[in-house]
Amino acid sequence: MTIYPENTVIMAPLSGYTDVPYRHSLRRHGCNYAFTEMIDTGSLVYAKGRTRNFLDRAEDEEWLGVQIVGNRIDEIKKAVEIINTRDFSVLDLNIGCPTPKVAKKGKGAGLARDIDYAAKIIEAMVKKSHFPVTAKIRIQDINDPSPTVDFIKKLENAGLQAVTVHGRLMKSIYSGPCYTDIIKAVKENVRMPVVANGGVMNYQDYKDIMNRSGCSRIMIARGAMGNPWIFEELTTGIKRYISTEELCDEMQKHISEIAEYYEEITAMKLSRKIILDYLQGRGFPRKLKCEVSQIRTLDDFKRFMLKVKEGPSRRFLEEMGKI
């Protein structure tokens, strides 16, 4: 079974972002492979309500992966049992999240400090899961590929069926270069599919990481924030100017679905960062962006959108060659 076909572009699991409405926005623009939000196993096992909603899968989603983060084998087994009651394409373990509140607890990238224990977790997941088990990790050294390769080979021997490699160290978070030579070394030394990840913001980044890593399977994350059109760009190689009309249409569809999916007040709180992402880098004044924090109801959002429809600054349009 091929988990990721050649030339696949995958949307990363983003905590606080990749819920059903977010994925629908991406899928309208060509995203076929996507993940749920990253789900903490403790919250999944012991909490109720919204955490379980992270497992929701829309009827029109043909491919959907679920990603968990945790470091207790007993807790992870219970989480897998819950996940087994749903339908997913793959079950992924996060061994790459660099956020201090996660890594300091020995989860995410912090789990990579004990590769033998990480391999035991993968082995336990493989035995328990109804779905193929994959993982997302970060490189372990920027100069020597051996620590990263050895780590991933150990996970592969434990039953891992695919791996996504972010080409930065844990301490680098999301800054600095992506060390594609380390990713390439992984690809050349394991049997399973390798997905390259790190810093893909446009088509040129996409081609660069493919060529330098030797991977045809690429995962994107921040490049899709406020820019679902990136999937069209990576498919066609053409970066289009997104008109104000097109931007507003997508924003209204996205935020309206968030409001349908969650209770209105909660939905608007969740929507504020989404709205800011859409406006980022598109020539809208700072004063307008500051007003996003005041959006509390759908009516507030509709009034706000009347201002967005007025379009970006004249200077921005001149720079873009639109006037």
- Per-residue pLDDT tens over the stretch 214-251: 999 999 999 999 999 999 999 999 999 999 999 999 99
- Per-residue pLDDT tens over the stretch 267-321: 999 999 999 999 999 999 999 999 999 999 999 999 999 999 999 988 988 888 8
Predicted pLDDT at 171: 87
Contact 220, 9 (CB under 8 A): yes
Predicted pLDDT at 318: 85
As a whole number of angstroms, the distance between CA 287 and CA 195 comes to: 40
Residue range 9-236, CATH number: 3.20.20.70
Contact 227, 26 (CB under 8 A): no
In the Cβ-directed half-sphere of 319, how many Cα atoms lie within 13 Å? 8
3-state DSSP assignment of residue 34: strand
Percent of the chain residues topping a pLDDT of 70: 98
As a whole number of angstroms, the distance between CA 209 and CA 310 comes to: 38
Q: Per-residue pLDDT for 47 more than 80?
A: no
Helix (H) or strand (E) holding 109: none
Contacts of 198 (CB under 8 A, 6+ apart): 166, 167, 168, 178, 180, 209
Beta bridge partners of 187: none
Contact 170, 199 (CB under 8 A): no
Q: Per mean pLDDT, which range of 23-32, 113-122, 216-225, 313-322 is the poorest?
A: 313-322
Side chain identity, residue 31: C
- Per-residue pLDDT tens over the stretch 169-181: 888 888 889 999 9
Report pTM. Answer: 0.94
User: How many Cβ atoms sit within 10 Å of the Cβ of residue 202?
Assistant: 15
Please state the rounded mean pLDDT for residues 133-160. 97
Task: Please state the domain extents for the chain.
Answer: 9-236, 244-319
Helix (H) or strand (E) holding 105: none
Q: Token pair for residue 263? A: 């209770």
Average pLDDT value for the chain: 95
Please state, in angstroms and as integers, the Cα–Cα distance from residue 291 to each residue in 121, 246, 286, 299, 305, following that order: 46, 21, 9, 14, 11
Predicted pLDDT at 51: 67
pLDDT band for 323, please (50, 70, 90 cuts).
confident
Q: Per-residue pLDDT for 258 more than 90?
A: yes
Predicted pLDDT at 189: 97
Q: Per-residue pLDDT for 2 more than 80?
A: no
Please state the rounded mean pLDDT for residues 30-43. 96
